[in-house]
């Protein structure tokens, strides 16, 4: 029987272990060539952009805004086109897009994860629902635009609905695949130990599907941004997609690039947050990957 000192120190030792594991992964990442290759990749793309547009003036590139023009506008206190890191409107567009993404993503997660779990868990349920799911899934988001405008009042709800759709399908499908990937022997072993169906579902199926679920959520947040831009271009007011679309119509090309780069940075940040949440909830998986990289 463990003594009281061991039981008292257990939470602290667990926290230290998690912190040490995180630091080990960061250290391994910095020692690997990956961060330096990433920097080289960014430098190569930016260099090509600069030389193709401003130096070589290649065909099809000569009318594009150059690297110098875009970054001068982006970080200008008095931007010519009215949008930079110093203007409140810039952060208003980002904030509204983030709010729409949050609504759509949490709704897609709240509906898609349970649906995917039951689709993978119950063959009878899957036979009823999955054919309909597969018929609806390939329909492009833009094809839903007229119905979204008809079904939902105002300009905000249709955009959230369009953003939700692609995210929902990605989350549901990956969750279902996660359940199907679990070895049946684990469920049989749980039943042999006296677990009922609900206990098997809770303690075997859900944890076993977690890696697939969070992989699906990372895909889901990415396609949510893609769908959001499409929705904001069609019926949105404010937002990064709205900036890109209106800048094209007003022939304000540097603003298009600013909107695209901002979209990429914010989208990457949200994906990283989902990945960090997955690492926090799946410490066993993080430990396995860290040992595998060592």
Q: What share of the chain is helix, strand, coil (3-state, %, to 5)?
A: 80, 0, 20
Q: Which domain holds residue 127?
A: 73-293
pLDDT at 152: 86
Assess if residue 38 is contained within a domain: no
pLDDT at 197: 81
Location of structure tokens 């090309």: 253
pLDDT at 5: 42
Distance CA 265, CA 245 (A): 19
Assess if residue 59 is contained within a domain: no
Assess if residue 186 is contained within a domain: yes
Total number of domains constituting the chain: 1
Closest CA to 163 of 110, 90, 249, 99: 99
Assess if residue 138 is contained within a domain: yes
Assess if residue 46 is contained within a domain: no
Distance CA 140, CA 143 (A): 5
Assess if residue 272 is contained within a domain: yes
3-state secondary structure (DSSP) of residue 23:
helix
Decide: 109 and 119 in contact? Cβ < 8 Å.
no
- Residue 146 makes CB contacts below 8 A (sequence gap 6+) with none
Closest CA to 73 of 60, 64, 82: 82
Distance CA 208, CA 204 (A): 6
Location of structure tokens 């304000």: 252
**Cβ-based burial of 160 (10 A; exposed 0-12, middle 13-18, buried ≥19):** buried
Report DSSP letters for 132-180, one per residue: HHHHHTTS-GGGGHHHHHHHS-TTHHHHHHHHHHHHHHHHHHHHHHHHH
Distance CA 79, CA 259 (A): 14
Query: In Å, how far from its chain's centre is CA 221?
Result: 3
Question: What pTM, to 2 d.p., does this model score?
Answer: 0.83
Q: What is the CATH number of the domain that holds 149?
A: 1.10.3720.10
| Lookup: tokens for 174 | 């990956």
pLDDT at 22: 64
Distance CA 147, CA 171 (A): 23
* Average pLDDT per 10 consecutive residues for the chain, totaling 294 residues: 45 56 71 85 93 88 89 94 94 94 95 93 90 92 88 85 92 93 83 82 86 90 90 80 91 94 94 84 60 52
Assess if residue 19 is contained within a domain: no
Assess if residue 1 is contained within a domain: no
């Amino acid at each position: 029987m463990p003594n009281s000192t061991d039981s008292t120190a257990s939470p602290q030792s667990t926290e230290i272990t998690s912190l040490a594991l995180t630091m080990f992964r960061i250290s391994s990442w910095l020692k690997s060539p990956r961060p330096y290759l990433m920097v080289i990749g960014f430098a190569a793309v930016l260099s090509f952009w600069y030389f193709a547009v401003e130096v070589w003036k290649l065909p099809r590139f000569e009318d594009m805004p150059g690297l110098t023009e875009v970054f001068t506008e982006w970080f200008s206190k008095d931007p010519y086109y009215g949008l930079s890191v110093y203007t409140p409107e810039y952060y208003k567009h980002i904030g509204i897009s983030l709010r729409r993404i949050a609504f759509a993503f949490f709704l897609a997660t709240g509906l898609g994860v349970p649906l995917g779990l039951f689709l993978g868990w119950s063959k009878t349920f899957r036979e009823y629902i999955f054919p309909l799911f597969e018929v609806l899934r390939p329909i492009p988001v833009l094809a839903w635009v007229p119905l979204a405008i008809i079904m939902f009042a105002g300009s905000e709800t249709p955009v959230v609905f369009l953003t939700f759709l692609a995210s929902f399908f990605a989350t549901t499908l990956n969750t279902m695949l996660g359940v199907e990937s679990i070895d049946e022997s684990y469920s049989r072993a749980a039943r042999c130990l006296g677990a009922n169906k609900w206990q098997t579902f809770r303690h075997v199926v859900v944890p076993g599907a977690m890696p697939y679920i969070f992989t699906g959520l990372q895909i889901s947040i990415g396609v949510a941004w893609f769908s959001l831009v499409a929705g904001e271009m069609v019926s949105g007011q404010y937002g990064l997609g709205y900036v890109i679309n209106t800048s094209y119509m007003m022939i304000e090309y540097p603003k298009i690039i600013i909107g695209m780069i901002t979209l990429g940075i914010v989208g990457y940040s949200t994906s990283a947050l989902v990945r960090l949440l997955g690492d926090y909830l799946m410490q066993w998986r993080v430990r396995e990957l860290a040992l595998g990289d060592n």
